[in-house]
Each structure stands twice: as structure tokens, then as C-alpha cells.
Amino acid sequence: MLPYLDPARIHELLPYPDAVAALRQAQADGPPAVAAPPRTAVAAAGGHMLLMPAGDEHMFGVKIAGVAPANPAHQLPRITGTYLLHDATTLLPVLAIDGPALTLLRTAALSALAVDVLAAPAATKLLVYGTGPQAAAHVEAMQAIRDFRTISVAGRTAESTCAFARNHDLGQAGPDSLPAADVVVCCTSSATPLFDGTRLATHSTVVAMGSHTLDARELDTDTLRGAQVVVEDSATAAREAADVADAINTGDLDCTIPLHAVLSGQTPVDHDRRRVFRSVGMAWEDLVIAKALHAATS
């Protein structure tokens, strides 16, 4: 039978520090040596399906992910799916992986990698927007790479914020949490900006992992204006990240910097202005994590 990794086994095999290290290594010398076409979206009755293939000389993988907005109201997950990893030479499948758990792991690990690279060494105050699975994953990932003195959460409702803060032993965000935050992490599916970017501290680092469609954005233009904006890939961000695309179109953002350029030292981190990392999620990241999980099972 084809081996299958469920969420518990995934986190047992690849804790966040190891996942961060795998993503860092994949970009240490430049763009990852992975062939990956743009994601394909297909409409479905309950939402849409995403097809995300990627391959290198050793492995080929594909994630089929479903996005079902109505599912949470029926106590079902909003994100569904499965990842299938193949040997690149024989094209035989070697491993099946829970898709949502893989997505949570790679997304939060990538955000943690960006924070570790971009945030000031003395950053101690973390503010998290969101109270869902991604927010929980990001809290765990951030704690794995930095020793934050205070972590507060801001949710859509007072009830969800209170419950999340209590369950994760965090503080609840107040009126002064945003301007005081050293690191702000956005983990929502919001279609409109979460906060007024003019209230951010100049030294802050902002991470947003929101939608991959041009009709939704977590960040306003004030957050991006004048900032050092880092992305996974500049062409992909311009195509899929609404906040980045809008700021480029209005002239408020001149350019974006690929994360690999920062990791390789090609582009230094500018601590004299705000840093923003905007991710959309890419198939090469899934492949990196899937390969690391496969190696951990050997």
C-alpha cells in the first residue's frame, strides 16, 4: 500500500524548525531548481479546486486542494485535499500526504523563515490577525524561530478572539497593539485590508499569507508604500497578490524582491524602513516540504 501521512505524523516527522531549514536551504543559492506551472483553478459546486504540480530532477509532486467557503458552517474544513509525491524517473507514486496539513506546515514555515530573515533581532512583540488553523500554525511556527515576549491576537469577533487567546495562552489585541508591534502576521481570508497601515511602526515587519486571487487583500496600500516588499516570486505576486498588484498599478510600489535574493545575500535587509513579506503559496514549497517528509520516513 502507498504510505500515507496524516496531520499528526506530518508534525512528528517534520517540526517547524526542520521545515524552516528545508525551505531556507532550497533558496540559499538562488531560485529553487523546480519546474512548476502557475496553479490551475477549476470551479466546483461548493467552491473551487486547485491543481498545483511541481517537479525537480529527483521528485515530482502534485497537490489537489479544495476551497469550500461554506464548509465551516457545517463543521467541515474550509480547505481539503491530498498531496501525491512521485519518483521523477519512474513516475511511480511513493507517498501520499494530507493536503491541508502540508499546506499549513509549509505556509507557516515560510512565514517564519521570512520573519527570521527580515525582522529586527530585538523584535519581541508579535501581533497575529486571525483565529483559524493558519493563525494557530503561525503562532507555533513563530515561537519556534523567535523568543517573543508578548503575543496578542486580533480576530473577526470578540468571541473568536477570546476563545483563541484562551486556547493558545495568548493576549488579546487592544487599541495600541498595532503601533507597538514589532512583527504583524496576517492569517485570514479577508477580502478587505485588516488595518490602517499608517498606524504601523516604521521598524515593523509585516507578513501576509492571504488570498491568491486579485479580488481579496489583507494589506492596504499604506502598508506597502515606502516599504521593502519581499515576495516568493515577483511575477507570481504581481499576478496573484491583489495588494501588491494594486500598489504597483498605482505607482505606490516600484518593485518587489524575491525572498531568495535576501536569503542569498544578493539584496540586504533594509532595517531603516518597514519590511513586508507577501506570500501566495507556491507549488515548489509543497514539493520541498513533501521531499523533506519523504526523507524523514526513510
- Name residue 185's beta-bridge partners: 128, 207
Residue 206: name the closest of 103, 298, 140, 128 by CA.
128
Final residue belonging to a domain, choices 67, 102, 137 = 102
**Host domain of residue 84:** 4-102
In angstroms and rounded to an integer, the radius of gyration of the C-alpha atoms of the chain is 18
- Alpha-carbon distances, residue 140 vs 1, 184, 205, 206 (angstroms): 33, 15, 18, 17
Three-state DSSP class for residue 252? coil
Three-state DSSP class for residue 45? coil
Q: Can you give the pLDDT at residue 298?
A: 84
Q: Can you give the pLDDT at residue 99?
A: 96
Q: Can you give the pLDDT at residue 215?
A: 76
Residue 225: name the closest of 254, 260, 190 by CA.
254
119 — pLDDT class (breaks 50, 70, 90) = very high
Q: Can you give the pLDDT at residue 214?
A: 73
145 — pLDDT class (breaks 50, 70, 90) = very high
Tell me, yes or no, whether 84 and 195 share the same domain: no
| 73-107 per-position pLDDT tens digit | 999 998 899 999 999 999 999 999 999 999 999 99
Can you give the pTM of this predicted structure? 0.95
Residue 126: name the closest of 192, 204, 188, 194 by CA.
204
Give yes or no for residue 213 having a pLDDT over 90: no
Tell me, yes or no, whether 129 and 77 share the same domain: no
Torsion-angle region of 278 (φ positive above 0: left; ψ -120 to 50: alpha; else: beta): beta
Distance CA 181, CA 199 (A): 10
Tell me, yes or no, whether 29 and 96 share the same domain: yes
Q: Can you give the pLDDT at residue 188?
A: 92
Tell me, yes or no, whether 121 and 256 share the same domain: yes
| 170-212 per-position pLDDT tens digit | 999 998 999 999 999 999 988 899 999 999 999 999 999 877 7
Average pLDDT (131-157) is 96
Tell me, yes or no, whether 66 and 155 share the same domain: no
| CATH number of 181's domain | 3.40.50.720
Q: How far is CA 134 from the centre of its chain?
A: 8
| 13-60 per-position pLDDT tens digit | 999 999 999 999 999 888 888 989 988 999 999 999 999 999 999 999
- Name residue 35's beta-bridge partners: 55
User: Hey, what's the cell of 192?
Assistant: 478587505
1 — pLDDT class (breaks 50, 70, 90) = confident
Give residues with Cβ within 8 angstroms of 280, minimum separation 6. 209, 211, 212, 231, 232, 236, 237, 240, 241
Tell me, yes or no, whether 179 and 217 share the same domain: yes
Q: Can you give the pLDDT at residue 31?
A: 83
Distance CA 193, CA 31 (A): 30
Tell me, yes or no, whether 248 and 195 share the same domain: yes
How high is the mean pLDDT of the chain?
A: 94
Q: Can you give the pLDDT at residue 32?
A: 83
Tell me, yes or no, whether 69 and 130 share the same domain: no
DSSP string, 253-285: ----EEHHHHHTTSS---TTS-EEEE----HHH
Final residue belonging to a domain, choices 76, 102, 128 = 102
Give the H or E element holding residue 184: strand 183-186
**Phi–psi pair at 86, nearest 5 degrees:** -120, 155
| 220-231 per-position pLDDT tens digit | 999 999 999 999
Residue 109 C-beta-side C-alpha neighbours within 13 Å: 26
Give me the count of residues in the chain: 298
* In contact, 231 and 277? CB cutoff 8 Å: yes
Sign of CA dihedral 209, 211, 213, 215: negative
Q: Total domain count for the chain? A: 2
Tell me, yes or no, whether 270 and 167 share the same domain: yes
| CATH number of 28's domain | 3.30.1780.10
| 234-274 per-position pLDDT tens digit | 999 999 999 999 999 999 999 999 999 999 999 999 999 99
Q: Can you give the pLDDT at residue 59?
A: 97
- Alpha-carbon distances, residue 220 vs 201, 223, 235, 247 (angstroms): 15, 6, 20, 9
